[in-house]
Structure 1
Amino acid sequence: MASVIKQRQALGEQVSLFSQVKLEHLVAGISGGVSSTLILHPLDIIKIRFAVNDGRMHAAPRYNGIANAFLTIYRQEGFRGLYQGVTPNVWGAGASWGLYFMFYGSLKNWVKKGDASANLSAGTHLALASAAGFTTLLITNPLWVVKTRLCLQYGGIKKYNGMIDCLVKIYQADGFRGYYKGLVPGIFGVSHGAVQFMVYEEMKKAHSKYYSQPITAKLSTIEYLTFAAISKLIAAATTYPYQVIRARLQNQHYSYTGLGECVKLTWTHEGWRGFYKGLGTNLVRVVPATAITFVTYENVSHWLLKHSENKLRS
């Protein structure tokens, strides 16, 4: 495939963005997102409940750490309690990772003019990841609103009976705008994915340069795990506050007039620490989740792309 593109370039043909869209990236991204979500969803439940607990809502459950939260939810709500909201989470994670990898891969190959072996700068990786993240967010934000609300059903009171019921009731109560609550902090959160992908790509590029390998060379599982974990730690530590604000804006138990009020009240009542509630749980969850996602993605995408190239040759 790469040789065909180079031949076209030699003949002066332009490489279109559409020609660089590969469904292999979509399938591989969905596989990674779904796998990590099914394994680690209980930690997502705990992180969200920590994030929205501002100390002023008496109805909100309070936990003394991750282990206590896990056991308390299990005792009070059973195994199903630990997997509340898993359906929109699986849909959201699968769609988000699949679309993100597809958009990012397409944009990256387009900028490279179809030459997969070409190197890009850190700034270019950051810009492309931001564009991919923003596009993905616009498509998937309704799923994240639903996931947050289902994860915040506690105390034996259920307002929503599953994902579809939640989607219908949000529309009935707030109209189409209800699906985009928390969108503004979500847009700021695009920087999270952008930072993560930039660091991940730069580490892979440095590794390839050090070992004199082509940038397209398949790495070992340990190398993918290491690069994914480090990039996620850096991204999570630098951009986490937006997740707290987004969760609070999407919380059905409390209403803010907007982003400004949410930020102001969080700072007034909790200080800077309020913006990092649930960070520990988040790191425990997202680092292995990202490692699972990226390892699954890299291996599945390499296999699918190689299979596609073999079919074209035969």
Structure 2
Amino acid sequence: MVGLRPSDVPPTPAVKFIGAGTAACIADLFTFPLDTAKVRLQIQGESAGSGAVNAIRYKGVFGTITTIVKTEGPRSLYNGLVAGLQRQMSFASIRIGLYDTVKLFYTNGKEKAGIGSRILAGCTTGALAVTVAQPTDVVKVRFQAQITLQGVKKRYNGTMDAYKTIAREEGMRGLWKGTFPNVTRNAIVNCTELVTYDLIKESLLQYKLLTDNLPCHFVSAFGAGFCTTVIASPVDVVKTRYMNSPPGLYKSAINCAWTMVTKEGPTAFYKGFVPSFLRLGSWNVVMFVSYEQLKRAMMMSRQKVEYAT
């Protein structure tokens, strides 16, 4: 057995909720530079920005990371990390931590769930998570898109300043800007990610290709990350562009998508695909592996406390 042994008692909803948020934060710490590179590539081509900003061109994921380090310093790769961790604790806890509970609700308590029940559960927890965590996502994206150069004015001086500035200048609606494309994206991401992970893991165990340990979790998470990137990338690009845009640049998320098609062509929807896959694939691997181990560790600790008392 590679990793901790599965608990004899199924993990409680609270354990899943806390474990998912914590595992997502761990994954963000490892993959945040890739996410920043993805955002920069996705917004490249927008007309907004000063001459100095528009002069910077990014090519490929590692080229983008190298350019950011050379022009802005390595710390810029982690712009928006605080908001990112806030987002994961509120976002992943709901969309991943409550997935099994909602799935049981749709199956009336039956352990064996069909594809329809899994998809409904993924849509439900994904949409609910976005509703709660949208302001943190807006701030994270804007920090990642912010160019840190001498002579270029910063949009925000800190995480709390960003929340206050957006609320003051754009109203509370500004903090929930891009909710529609984000709900759409996360319904797609959540369904593809969790359902694919579920199905791959079940198949590996059913056909005894692997046992319920780290290699199984790794393979399942990698497959889920690739499938999710292919399906969700177009919506992700629109979401990033729209959330980062200054007031008035796009009338709506649909207008943003239409502008991209007419000015940059359909391939614009897959800008940043490689960093998206590298980020989402690696994020899935770190998150799901950490999540499975955290659930087992917390249940072991809980059982030891109960036994001691």
- Is the pair's TM-score, using the shorter chain for normalization, greater than 0.5? yes
Measured after TM superposition, the shift of residue 198 of structure 1 is 1.0
Structure 2 distance, partners of 1:262, 1:199, is 29
Structure 2 distance, partners of 1:35, 1:240, is 23
Structure 2 distance, partners of 1:158, 1:180, is 21
Measured after TM superposition, the shift of residue 302 of structure 1 is 2.1
Measured after TM superposition, the shift of residue 36 of structure 1 is 1.1
Structure 1-normalised TM-score?
Answer: 0.86
Measured after TM superposition, the shift of residue 157 of structure 1 is 2.2
Q: How far does the alpha carbon of each residue in 1:224-277 deviate from its partner, in whole angstroms, 9 at most, with x for none?
A: 011011011111101211111111111145721112221111000111101111
Measured after TM superposition, the shift of residue 285 of structure 1 is 1.1
Kindly report the root-mean-square deviation, in angstroms, between the aligned alpha carbons of the 2 structures: 2.5
Q: Which runs of 5+ in 1 are unaligned?
A: 6-19
Q: How many residues align?
A: 293
1:46 matched to 2:43:
no
Structure 1 distance, partners of 2:103, 2:299, is 16
1:165 aligned residue (161, 165, 170)? 161
Are residues 260 and 212 of structure 1, via their aligned partners in 2, closer, same or farther at CA, if it must alter by over 3 Å?
closer
State the match for 2:190 in structure 1: 193
State the match for 1:11 in structure 2: none
Measured after TM superposition, the shift of residue 220 of structure 1 is 1.3
Amino acid across the alignment from 2:171: G
Measured after TM superposition, the shift of residue 288 of structure 1 is 0.8
Conserved 8 A contact 2:188-2:231: no
Structure 2 distance, partners of 1:4, 1:250, is 43
Conserved 8 A contact 1:54-1:274: no
Structure 1 distance, partners of 2:173, 2:180, is 12
1:107 matched to 2:102:
yes
Amino acid across the alignment from 1:194: C
Three-state SS of the structure 2 residue aligned to 1:138 is helix
Q: How far does the alpha carbon of each residue in 1:36-95 deviate from its partner, in whole angstroms, 9 at most, with x for none?
A: 111111111111011011254453432122222212211221122111111101111232
1:96 aligned residue (66, 69, 91)? 91
State the match for 2:146 in structure 1: 153
1:239 aligned residue (210, 232, 236)? 232
1:276 matched to 2:276:
no
State the match for 1:77 in structure 2: 72
Q: Which runs of 5+ in 2 are unaligned?
A: 1-7
Measured after TM superposition, the shift of residue 100 of structure 1 is 1.7
1:210 matched to 2:207:
yes
1:183 aligned residue (179, 182, 195)? 179
Measured after TM superposition, the shift of residue 147 of structure 1 is 0.5
Conserved 8 A contact 1:21-1:102: no
State the match for 1:266 in structure 2: 260
Conserved 8 A contact 2:95-2:190: no
% same residue: 22
Measured after TM superposition, the shift of residue 311 of structure 1 is 4.8
1:294 matched to 2:294:
no
Q: How far does the alpha carbon of each residue in 1:12-51 deviate from its partner, in whole angstroms, 9 at most, with x for none?
A: xxxxxxxx97211122112211111111111111110110
Measured after TM superposition, the shift of residue 192 of structure 1 is 1.5
Conserved 8 A contact 1:122-1:202: no
Are residues 231 and 4 of structure 1, via their aligned partners in 2, closer, same or farther at CA, if it must alter by over 3 Å?
closer
Amino acid across the alignment from 2:77: L
Are residues 212 and 244 of structure 1, via their aligned partners in 2, closer, same or farther at CA, if it must alter by over 3 Å?
closer
Conserved 8 A contact 1:228-1:290: yes
State the match for 2:4 in structure 1: none
Three-state SS of the structure 1 residue aligned to 2:102 is helix
Structure 2 distance, partners of 1:40, 1:231, is 16
Q: How far does the alpha carbon of each residue in 1:188-238 deviate from its partner, in whole angstroms, 9 at most, with x for none?
A: 11111111111111122223322399xxxx711111011011011111101
State the match for 2:25 in structure 1: 34
Conserved 8 A contact 2:107-2:117: no
State the match for 1:8 in structure 2: none
Three-state SS of the structure 2 residue aligned to 1:102 is coil
Q: How far does the alpha carbon of each residue in 1:111-158 deviate from its partner, in whole angstroms, 9 at most, with x for none?
A: 45556xx21112211111111111111001110000011112113421
